Chain A
């Protein structure tokens, strides 16, 4: 945790457009997980430092973690599959948890889910079983918080591209993000955010090369 400092946006391009004081600023290494609380009114900025790095993310109400991000409630309420600027990220009880107040990427995915050792065996073959995966990260992040596998639900994949073709074909394809692009999430309630900085190396979601991301919270 860094000391609160007043923003000087010209000093760092990753801070452009942010207001308020920085209350947190850390880099999450490639393949690692990250858990942090964000208070109502604070903004979490995620910076895709090197480009096309999928950031798998779940949100829990800090007061009651049985209330959590719901991809289905979110897309049904907005009538659209993609998460763009202005999207309200809703809970399984229909309440706004966070809002995408700004993003320099056209849209983000919330249908592709998290990679797991088990789904990797289906998608690529049993030879991938020893590889790291997002659900492994999620479990390691969850257990110290007294959460379990039951708490891992359909997530958001920031900086990941999952189009749907006219015939229904769906897949994770080359990304539309780039080095230095960002997404800003304003907390609409006190939340705990859990991230897996995706370690996948079998599809284009990380450009076949997992890289670090930067997490900045402003008050």
Chain B
């Protein structure tokens, strides 16, 4: 700091001089994206933000909204808390998500289910294929044991649970609302004897997932190292999010009709909104 900021006007001029600064990880307001899918008008764009390593974002996304996630440099970990916006006691249930779909793994065409027998989001597109409903996220205790508290490095080694706490706090919720999470872009496979085999990359840049909101949702998205990341260095890269409006899932939608269990989850959603 070389400027003299001894009075409020100088401080104001200094602060205002930052306007227009562009960095890689930031929200763009109003949103601009020059790579929307064909047929999506720019006026339907809702959200354009790149989450920094260790960062998080909170967002309301209404039913029918699409959310595209891009792992810009191949080492992002998108961890989600998902709530029904009008009744946040309804939230993602990872056990039901796996059990109801008879699978340990997520991917294109799969659903994220709530604890009320409804589908919160569906996977419209996925060219990553490595996702994780099993391992959860790191916390202060684990993160500081692994990476240190960061005093010497002069930085904090941010962890997913801490990000979730802040995110749910800003939605007016608290510690009891941080629930088991899903991690996108980082995977976990399970061997015959139960051994968890993390699939953590780093991967090629630009892997993309598109999710569809099937209910009006409150989201918290954190971007911190996966809890089973074996690297000594705290490592994670920026995560780009883009969202746009879209139609509510029609009755002839192939994902809606893919399995009898999934169809009943959609029927339960449609019943919930029949008012």
A66-B176, A75-B196, A121-B117 known; A170-B95 Cβ under 8 A: no
CB nearest to A66 among chain B residues: B175
By beta carbon, the residue of chain A nearest B136 is A72
**Which A residues from 113 to 148 make CB contacts under 8 A with B?**
113-114, 116-123, 125-126, 135, 148
Instruction: Establish whether residues A148 and B180, one from each chain, have CB atoms under 8 Å apart when the complex forms.
Output: no
Report if B100 contacts A (CB, 8 A). Answer: yes
Please name all residues of chain A whose beta carbon is closer than 8 Å to the beta carbon of B108 when the two chains form the complex: none
Nearest B residue to A120 via CB reads B117
Decide if A10 is an interface residue (CB 8 Å cutoff).
Answer: no
Across-interface contacts of B89 in A (CB, < 8 A):
148-150
14 A/B residue pairs, CB under 8 Å, sorted by A: A66-B176, A73-B136, A76-B136, A82-B193, A82-B194, A92-B139, A93-B161, A112-B99, A118-B268, A119-B96, A122-B262, A123-B99, A154-B180, A168-B105
- CB-defined contacts of B192 to chain A, threshold 8 Å: 166
A154 touches B94 (CB 8 A): yes
Given contacts A92-B161, A118-B268, are A112 and B194 in contact (CB under 8 A)? no
Nearest CB of chain A from residue B257's CB, rounded to whole Å: 14
Q: Residue on A with the closest CB to B181?
A: A72
List residues 30-83 of chain A with CB under 8 A from any CB of chain B.
66, 70-73, 75-77, 79-82
Q: How far is the CA of A154 from the CA of B176 in the complex (A)?
A: 13
- Does A169 make an interface contact (CB < 8 A)? yes
Q: Which residues of A are in contact with B by a Cβ distance under 8 Å?
A: 66, 70-73, 75-77, 79-82, 92-95, 107, 111-114, 116-123, 125-126, 135, 148-155, 162, 164, 166, 168-172
Q: A66-B174, A150-B177, A170-B103 are in contact. Are A122 and B136 (CB under 8 A)?
A: no
Interfacial chain A residues near B99, Cβ < 8 Å: 111-113, 119, 123, 162, 170-172
The CA-CA distance from A155 to B180 in the complex, in Å, is 11
| Cβ A75 vs Cβ B135 within 8 A | yes
* Contact yes or no, A118 B115, CB < 8 A: yes
Report the Cα distance A113→B94, complex, angstroms: 8
Between A and B, how many residue pairs show CB distances below 8 Å? 139
Q: A71–B113 contact, CB under 8 A?
A: no
Check A75 against B134 for contact (C-beta < 8 Å).
yes
Q: Which residues of A lie under 8 Å from residue B100 when comparing CB positions?
A: 119, 122-123
Establish whether residues A93 and B116, one from each chain, have CB atoms under 8 Å apart when the complex forms: no
Contact of B204 with A by CB under 8 A: no
Complex Cα–Cα for A77 and B137 (A): 11
> With contacts A72-B181, A79-B196 known, is A122 near B268, CB below 8 A?
yes
Asked if B85 CB lies within 8 Å of chain A CBs, one says no
**B50 contacts the other chain (CB 8 A):** no
Tell me if B228 is interfacial: C-beta within 8 Å of chain A: yes
Bound Cα distance from A194 to B140, whole angstroms: 26
Q: How far is the CA of A170 from the CA of B133 in the complex (A)?
A: 13
User: Is B227 in the interface zone, CB < 8 Å from A?
Assistant: yes
User: In angstroms, how far is the closest chain B Cβ from the Cβ of A141?
Assistant: 16
Q: How far is the CA of A166 from the CA of B218 in the complex (A)?
A: 34
Bound Cα distance A70, B139 (Å): 12
Q: Among A66, A71, A116, which residue has its beta carbon within 8 angstroms of that of B180?
A: A71
Q: How far apart are B205's CB and chain A's nearest CB, in angstroms?
A: 26
In the complex, which residues 68-118 of chain B have their Cβ closer than 8 Å to any Cβ of chain A? Answer: 89, 93-96, 98-100, 102-105, 113, 115-118
Q: Which residues of A contact B118 (CB under 8 A)?
A: 118
Complex: A71 Cα to B213 Cα, angstroms: 26
Query: For residue A114, which residues in chain B have a CB less than 8 angstroms away from its CB?
Result: 95
Instruction: Report Cα–Cα, A123/B261, bound state, in Å.
Output: 6
Q: Give the nearest-CB partner of B116 in chain A.
A: A118
Q: Check B134–A72 contact: CB distance below 8 A.
A: yes
Residues from 131 to 154 in B contacting A, C-beta threshold 8 Å: 134-137, 139-142
Known contacts A80-B196, A168-B103: A94-B142 contact under CB 8 Å: yes
When distances are taken between beta carbons in the complex, the residues of chain A under 8 Å from B194 are 80-82, 107, 164
User: Smallest CB–CB gap between A84 and chain B, Å?
Assistant: 8
Please provide the chain B residues from 151 to 193 with a CB less than 8 Å away from any CB of chain A in the complex.
Answer: 161, 174-181, 189-190, 192-193
Given contacts A72-B180, A72-B181, A170-B104, contact A113 B95 (CB under 8 A): yes
Contact of B95 among A112, A120, A125, A151 (CB under 8 A): A112
